[in-house]
Amino acid sequence: MRNIGKNIKLLRQQKNMTQDELAEALFVTRQTVSNYETGRSRPDVEMLLRIAEVLEADANTVLYGPPVPQSRKEAWQKTAIYLGLAAVLGIGLLLLTVDTRKQQELYLDRGWWTCLISGWLVPGWKLLAGLGVMQLLYTVAGVKRLGKPAASYVRWGALGVIALYVLAILPMSIYMTQSSIEVALLRQAGGDYSYTSSFSFVPFWDRAGMILITRGGYYPQGFVQYLLQAILTAWPFVAGALLWFSGKDKQKEV
């Protein structure tokens, strides 16, 4: 913050403005602008906002300076982390999907297995993939993040969608995990077993969870089902991309 003057000078030069032009736009003297830039005086809050408006920047940029672009090496490292995690989770999903023998050996219930993979691991993989793809586009093509206040709205919107999804499938996941454990113990003991696939204390969540996990499989064939399937298939990837867009760039130390 002690370098406000340097930040004002840098932003003014980026706009190709002279001190006289900036002073005229601010309705002050050139000497006042010079004092701001050399640190002999500081603008008050009202003048700070006016400077930001004239220089087409936000107040944080005037106070702390423009964001420092990531180095190419750092950007590639971050891209590798995102895509690497997505690749590892994707391979793990593939192995879990095809290894039905292990599922049978562990006496795992098929409903619980589907809930784990379709309800949790696949959306998590798509979320990572969305982040990774956007980071790759940033590294290769220089895609820009959103500025304020849009970034805050988008970030909270994406986090809200993720939270709603978790709340929708969490009760069913807990119930199916408990039921799967009980069934596995009964199978191992050689006993008979049966259980219902719904729980009465949250019937709405039960149905919502099944719709989300089966990607609209409860609906009859038709336009509504195809539209719902497309949304439920794509939303984690979109949410990951929006989280990247609403992220923050590194700021300069001032």
The share of the chain scoring above pLDDT 90, in percent, equals: 33
pLDDT digits (tens, 9 = 90+) for 148-200: 788 999 999 999 999 999 998 888 888 888 877 777 777 777 665 555 444 44
pLDDT mean across residues, the chain: 82
- 8 Å CB contact between 112 and 179: yes
Q: Is the peptide bond before 149 cis (omega within 30 degrees of 0)?
A: yes
pLDDT digits (tens, 9 = 90+) for 93-108: 888 776 655 555 555 5
Per-domain residue ranges of the chain: 4-64, 72-245
Distance CA 209, CA 194 (A): 21
- 8 Å CB contact between 172 and 209: yes
Q: What is the pTM of this model?
A: 0.65
Token output for 28:
């002050």
**3-state DSSP percent of the chain in helix, strand and coil, to 5:** 70, 0, 30
3-state secondary structure of 142: coil
Distance CA 66, CA 59 (A): 10
Q: Where are the alpha helices (DSSP H) in 142-222?
A: 150-189, 203-213
Token output for 227:
């539209």
Distance CA 60, CA 49 (A): 10
Instruction: Domain 4-64: give its CATH code.
Output: 1.10.260.40
Whole-number pLDDT of residue 251: 45
Token output for 41:
């005086």
Number of Cα atoms under 13 Å in the Cβ half of residue 32: 14
Average confidence (pLDDT) over 58-80: 80
Distance CA 157, CA 29 (A): 45
Q: How confident is the model at residue 252 (pLDDT cuts 50, 70, 90)?
A: very low
Distance CA 30, CA 28 (A): 7
The residue written with tokens 């923050």 in the block is 248
pLDDT digits (tens, 9 = 90+) for 5-43: 889 998 999 888 999 999 999 999 999 999 999 989 989
Whole-number pLDDT of residue 94: 83
The residue written with tokens 């830039």 in the block is 37
Token output for 94:
């593939």
